[in-house]
Chain A
Amino acid sequence: MSELQASDLALFWAGVIALAIMVYVILDGFDLGVGILFGTTTDEAKRVSMMNTIAPFWDGNETWLVIVGAGLFATFPTVYAVFLSAFYIPVLLLLFGLIFRGVAFEFRYRSQRLRWLWDGGFFIGSIVVAFVQGAAVGAMMRGIRVVDGQYAGGSFDWLHPFAVLTGIGLVFGYALLGAGWIVLKSDGALRDWAYARIGWLLAIVFAIIAAAFATVLSVDTGAVAQGHLAGRAWGWVFPLLGVVALLGAAWAARARRDAWPLACTALFFVSAFLTLGVMFWPYMVPYAITVANAAAPEASLQFLFYGGVVVLPVIAIYTIGVYWVFRGKVSGGYG
Chain B
Amino acid sequence: MELDPVILSRIQFAFVISFHIIFPAFTIGLAAWLATIEGARLFTGNALYRRVFDFWIKVFAVSFGMGVVTGIVMAFQFGTNWSVLAAKTGSIQGPLLGYEAFTAFMLEATFFGVMLLGRERVSPRFYFFACCMVSLGTMFSSFWILANNSWMQVPLGHEIVDGKIVPADWMQIVLGPVQMVRWPHMLLAAFLTSAMCVAATGAWYTLRGVHRDEGRVMLHWGLGLVAVLIPVQLFFGHLTGLYVLKHQPAKFAAIEARWKNEQPASEVLIAWPDEANERNLFAITVPKLGSMIASGNWTSAEVGLESFPKEDRPPVVIPFFAFRIMVGMGLLMLAVSWFGNFLRWRGQLETQRWFLWCTYLSFPTGFVAVLTGWYTAEVGRQPWVVYGLLRTRDAVTPSLTTGDVAFSLAGYVLVYAVVYSFGLYYIYSLLRDGPGPDATPVAVRGATGSRPLAFAGHADTATGRAGRQKP
Q: A78-B87, A333-B445 are in contact. Are A304 and B95 (CB under 8 A)?
A: yes
Number of B residues near A (Cβ < 8 Å) is: 64
Q: Is the CB of A248 closer than 8 A to any CB of chain B? A: no
CB–CB B400/A85 < 8 A = yes
When C-beta atoms are compared, the residue in chain A nearest to B462 turns out to be: A110
Interface positions, chain A 302-323, Cβ under 8 Å from B, are 303-304, 307-308, 310-311, 314-315, 317-318, 322
Cβ B399 vs Cβ A96 within 8 A? no
Q: Mark each residue of chain A from 60 to 103: 1 if its CB lies under 8 Å from any CB of chain B, else 0.
A: 10110011011111110110111111101101100110111011
Contact A303 B86 (CB under 8 A): no
Asked whether, in the complex, the Cβ of B101 is within 8 Å of the Cβ of A70, the reply is yes
Residue of A nearest to B166 (CB): A297
* A59→B451 contact, CB < 8 A: yes
| C-alpha gap A170/B290 in the complex (Å) | 64
Contact A300 B91 (CB under 8 A): yes
For B91, B105, B110, which residue has the most chain A Cβ atoms within 10 angstroms? Answer: B91
Docked-complex contact A300 and B95, CB < 8 angstroms: yes
| A77 to B94 Cα, complex, angstroms | 7
Residues of B within 8 A of A154 (CB): 399
Q: Is the CB of A84 within 8 A of B79?
A: yes
* Cα(A236)–Cα(B166), bound, Å: 40
> Which residues in chain B, 72-118, are within 8 Å of chain A measured between CB atoms?
72-73, 75-76, 78-80, 83-84, 86-87, 89-95, 97-99, 101-102, 105-106, 108-110
**Complex contacts, A100 vs chain B, CB 8 Å:** 415, 419
Chain B residue at minimum C-beta to C-beta distance from A149: B87
> 8 Å CB contacts to A: which residues of B293-345?
none
Chain B interface (Cβ < 8 Å from any Cβ of A): 65, 69, 72-73, 75-76, 78-80, 83-84, 86-87, 89-95, 97-99, 101-102, 105-106, 108-110, 161, 166-168, 170, 397-401, 403-404, 407-408, 411, 415, 419, 422-423, 426, 443, 445-451, 453-454, 457, 462-464
Complex contacts, A71 vs chain B, CB 8 Å: 98
Q: Is the CB of A60 within 8 A of B398?
A: no
Across-interface contacts of A75 in B (CB, < 8 A)? 94, 98
Instruction: Given contacts A81-B84, A84-B83, A153-B399, list 9 more A-B pairs with CB under 8 A.
Output: A56-B447, A80-B86, A81-B83, A95-B72, A100-B419, A110-B464, A155-B403, A300-B166, A310-B102
A299 at the interface (CB under 8 A from B): yes
Q: How far is the CB of B142 from chain A (nearest CB, A)?
A: 16
19 A-B pairs with C-beta separation under 8 A: A55-B451, A55-B454, A69-B79, A70-B97, A73-B97, A74-B97, A83-B79, A89-B408, A99-B69, A106-B65, A109-B457, A149-B87, A150-B397, A151-B399, A299-B166, A304-B94, A304-B95, A304-B98, A311-B105
List, in ascending order, chain B residues with CB within 8 A of A297's CB.
91, 161, 166-167
B228 → A minimal CB distance (Å): 34
Inter-chain contacts of B108 with A (CB < 8 A):
63, 318
CB-contact partner of B451 in A56, A80, A315, A335, under 8 A: A56
8 Å CB contact of B408 from A86, A92, A149: A92
Residue of B nearest to A70 (CB): B101
Residue pair B109, A318 in contact (C-beta under 8 Å): yes
* Contact between A96 and B451, CB atoms less than 8 A apart: no
CB–CB A103/B400 < 8 A: no
A109 partner residues in chain B, CB cutoff 8 A: 457
5 closest residue pairs by CB, A with B: A77-B90, A84-B79, A74-B94, A55-B446, A318-B109
